[in-house]
Amino acid sequence: MSVFAQSGSGRAATRPPVLLSAALVLLFFLPWVHWTIDGEPRSLAGYDVLVEGFRAPTLSRQAAEAAIAEQDAALNQAIERARERAAEARADADEAEAEAAAAPGDERLSSRAERRVGSAERAEERIGEAERQLEAYRQTDHELWTHSLFYLYPLLLLLLPLGTLGALARGISGRSAAPFALAAAAGGIWALMAPHLWFGMSVVFGLTPVGVLVFLLSLALIPAALGLERTADAIDQVNRRIGTTVAWLALFMVLVQFALVLMRYVFGIGSIMTQESLIYAHGTLFMVAAGYTLLVGGHVRVDIFYREAEPRKKAWVDLIGVTVLLIPVCLLIWRYSLPYVLSSWAVLEGSRETSGIQGVYLLKSCILVFVVLMSLQGLSLAFRSILVIAGLRKTAGTATAGGH
């Protein structure tokens, strides 16, 4: 247990990350996910995912170029059809004008000629409109270079095999494997989270047990490399900085609410954007600062014996609470909120009011931020509880002192 409590030099400290890295090297050649490529269902191993990742930018660019060529051809065809209709309309107009000229007193023929001339003019206008549309389309920057950004996925995924091999080499030589283990952890987490956030829950449903194991082992690499204590400290530092930063939104809410009261009841004016800013500030404050609140023991805790219990019993309660209640609930929230958030991002959802804040998709994203920060802080509490149970710490920190 002391190996995980804090990292150090020597073979004992390098053993956990090296063992996990060795397991990840083996799992890299086993099927991670079931996916459909070019209409064919396939089981992709880790190296297959890497290969397909490098193929994806080229395929995406080719698809975009094909769509551009198809649209260009469609616009050219529309111009040709417009020219044919304009030629027919002009011929009919000339014929109608000739008939009207032959019978000057016939109002019916004169009216018919005017209609045919009007039709010919409108057809010619449509030619000009279609040509302008084609010219504008050709001048549009289709940003094909952006497809190269897809190379970020396989390049960062390379961290997994390269990091595991580096950790193994460092571990065999008896040196600290922490830097390479952390790189491998980042690659393993990225392997699942990037396509998961892009494609939604379908990626998770396509994972094999090996794919789930790769993700879990990648997560385990972080405390294995840093130690439970340092990992918990890093999580605490992240939530502390975020919490103390968004806490200023409380002052913002007070000032804005005071301003709204003055505007409405003194000056008789209102502002939808200002009113909606309160909703954004309130949602951001309570969702994003939830992890910091758990860090300082600020959540409401209804208990009979916890406050007066000894640290070891508190540690058991916290460990069971995090693993049985907190983490599963966070996963459940993520499961049902991710499609909700992704659909909002797909249309860049904004306010229903034209003068409102056009950033509803950002506000909804706070749900996912809440899940991540709360889960991390729960893991921090669980790590410290393990250390207390192992006799390596006296208490699990400020989170255990906030019972109300």
Q: Which of 375, 369, 378, 376 is nearest to 399 (CA)?
A: 378
3-state secondary structure of 31: strand
Average pLDDT in the 219-233 region?
92
> 115 versus 208: which is more confidently predicted?
208
CB 309 within 8 A of CB 383: no
Mean pLDDT of the chain, nearest integer: 87
**What is the pLDDT at residue 141?**
67
378 to each of 292, 293, 329, 381, how far by Cα in Å? 11, 11, 11, 5
**What is the pLDDT at residue 277?**
94
Q: HEC profile for 166-224?
A: HHHHHHHCCCCCHHHHHHHHHHHHHHHHHHHHHHCHHHHHHECHHHHHHHHHHHHHHHH
**What is the pLDDT at residue 50?**
94
Condensed to tens digits (0 to 9), the pLDDT of residues 17-57 reads: 889 999 999 999 999 999 887 788 899 999 999 999 999 88
* pTM recorded for the entire structure: 0.78
The pair of three-digit structure tokens given for residue 166, joined into one six-digit string = 């580096």
**What is the pLDDT at residue 386?**
94
**What is the pLDDT at residue 385?**
93
* Residues 6+ away with beta carbon under 8 Å from 182: 163, 221, 222, 225, 226
**What is the pLDDT at residue 8?**
42
Which residue shows structure tokens 């249309």? 347
Indicate whether 374 pLDDT > 50. Answer: yes
3-state secondary structure of 350: coil
**What is the pLDDT at residue 292?**
95
Average pLDDT in the 127-154 region?
81
CB 299 within 8 A of CB 402: yes
Condensed to tens digits (0 to 9), the pLDDT of residues 144-177 reads: 778 888 899 999 999 999 999 999 998 888 888 8
**What angle do helix axes 11-27 and 178-199 make, rounded to 10 degrees?**
40
Percent of the chain at pLDDT above 70? Answer: 94
Count the neighbouring beta carbons within 10 Å of the beta carbon of residue 148: 12
For the chain, the helix, strand and coil percentages under 3-state DSSP, each to the nearest 5:
80, 5, 20
| Phi (first) and psi of residue 92, to 5 degrees | -65, -40
**What is the pLDDT at residue 399?**
67
8-state DSSP, 207: B
